[in-house]
Amino acid sequence: MAHCVPSDLYPEKLWIETPLIRSNHLSSVLQCDVYLKLETLQPSQSFKYRGISYFAQHALRIHGPHVHLVIASSGNAGIAAACVANILGVRCTVFLPCGVDRATMDYMKKEGAEIVVEGGFYQEALQTAKRFVQATPKAVMVPGYDDPIVWEGHASMVHEIKLQLPRGRKPDAIFCSFGGGGLAGGIIQGCKAVGWDDVPLIAVETFGSNCFYQTLSLNNGPFIGGTAAEGRRTQEYCAEFDVNIAHLTTLTSKATSLGATSPSAAVVRMALDRKGGVKSVCVPDEMAMSAALSFAEDHKTLVELACSATIATAYKPELFRRLVPGRTQPNEQATVVFVVCGGFKVSLEDMEEHRSVVAADREASGGWLVAYNGEVLEVPKG
């Protein structure tokens, strides 16, 4: 039986409700009920589109029909902004760092967006976009991930999940990818709104693009030992939210959609303060690649590395059991939800490249090293 989020929560929403399915395969592997929230199909069925369309509608109400939406993005957020601008009939300019593939730019252009390529990283493109907004009448900066209105839009996903799970079922954990923190911020807000603030959040990144993990290692919170945080960084204290923030000086991961050099300070504060806590996990690119291949085979769905990094935790039961301890009551199975955020930047060619990289990596001795909340676990590559 289908359940719909009450229309008064999001009366003018532009996104489409996405499916929540039980994965029979992963449920069998992990001996629990594994549900997949499929934010994977079209731009109008993605978490990015939820928050960005919600913000764009707010900007349209405030600034009128001549509003000019401006966003900095490494891909998926820019696509969402271009799509919503096209639907609303307003102008959109997307600032991209160097290295964004042609297919992504072509998609944005087909939606009517103007493209500006500037800088080697997202933060450099963002600074250029901000200067453009200051100099351009009617221009409004659309935040890719760091804004309460964006999080409120993303939170709609949790309202859907609550209605889509079997009646009365509450997750024992929610898994999501973490780039700059927009998705996590939405999940945290959504959980609070539906009475799930005590549900643990498990945020996954790749080594080489792990600004959240490194930030948590600088603050009093979930880490219990050594940080095991790779990569060069600087740090800065944010007085507004009383947190130390890590700024990565290089991004080396192939999961480019996770390519934020620093996380949202507000989301870090929310994560540290929430009752259910947060567990931060880092996996190697090769493990994310392997999961992308397995997921394509098991679920007939292609996802980019920013998404498969999260799914990778489901393919390693020994890691999963560390993150989600079993229930104490006999004959009770845990229930977990994985946000499958999909992404635009994936192709059959990418999957073949993943296959080659993983095959070569498996020739090397040892397993894959995974970091979680200051601990390190070696998991088999098989």
Interatomic CA distance for residues 103 and 199, integer angstroms: 38
Whether the CA torsion 137, 143, 149, 150 is positive or negative: it is positive
3-state secondary structure at position 266: helix
**3-class DSSP string for 175-209:** EEECCCCHHHHHHHHHHHHHCCCCCCEEEEEECCE
User: Which are the contacts of 136, defined by CB distance < 8 A and separation ≥ 6?
Assistant: 68, 70
* Amino acid at residue number 47: F
Q: What is the pLDDT of residue 12?
A: 87
Using CA atoms of 243, 247, 251, 257 in order, give the dihedral in degrees to the nearest 10. Answer: 50
% of the chain with per-residue pLDDT over 90? 77
Beta strand 368-372 with 278-283: parallel, antiparallel or unpaired?
antiparallel
pLDDT band at 362 (very low <50, low <70, confident <90, very high): very high
CA 269/CA 196 separation, integer angstroms: 18
Residue 227, token pair as written in the block: 């940080």
Q: Is the predicted pLDDT of residue 10 greater than 90, yes or no?
A: no
Q: What is the C-alpha to C-alpha distance for residues 185 and 1, in angstroms, rounded to an integer?
A: 29
Q: Phi first, then psi: what are they for 127, rounded to 5°?
A: -65, -40
Distance CA 12, CA 84 (A): 13
What are the tokens at 113?
């967006």
Whether 295 shows a pLDDT value over 90: the answer reads: yes
- End-to-end CA distance of the chain: give it in Å, rounded: 39
**C-alpha pair distances (Å), 161 with each of 168, 170, 227, 237, 313:** 12, 10, 33, 35, 20
Q: State the average pLDDT for the chain.
A: 91
Distance of alpha carbon 363 from alpha carbon 353, whole angstroms = 16
pLDDT band at 85; cut points 50, 70, 90? very high
Q: Are 294 and 109 in contact (CB under 8 A)?
A: no
**Quick one: pLDDT band at residue 365, thresholds 50, 70, 90?**
confident
Decide if pLDDT at 357 tops 60.
yes
Distances (CA, A) of 46 to 17, 50, 64, 367: 9, 7, 26, 33
- CA 61 from chain centre, in angstroms, equals 28
Query: Does the structure show a pLDDT above 80 at 329?
Result: no
Helices (H), 279-347: 285-299, 305-311, 317-323
Q: Which of 38-42, 137-141, 354-358 has the lowest mean pLDDT?
A: 38-42
Per-residue confidence band for 182, with pLDDT thresholds at 50, 70 and 90: very high
Q: How confident is the model at residue 1 (pLDDT cuts 50, 70, 90)?
A: very low
Which H or E run includes 15?
A: none
Lowest mean pLDDT among 35-39, 110-114, 156-160, 329-333: 329-333
The whole-model pTM stands at 0.93
More confident residue, 79 or 328: 79
Comparison of pLDDT for 371 and 256, the residue scoring more: 371
Instruction: Go through the chain and tell me how many residues it has.
Output: 382
User: pLDDT tens digits, residue range 121-171?
Assistant: 888 899 999 999 999 999 999 998 999 999 999 999 999 999 999 999 999
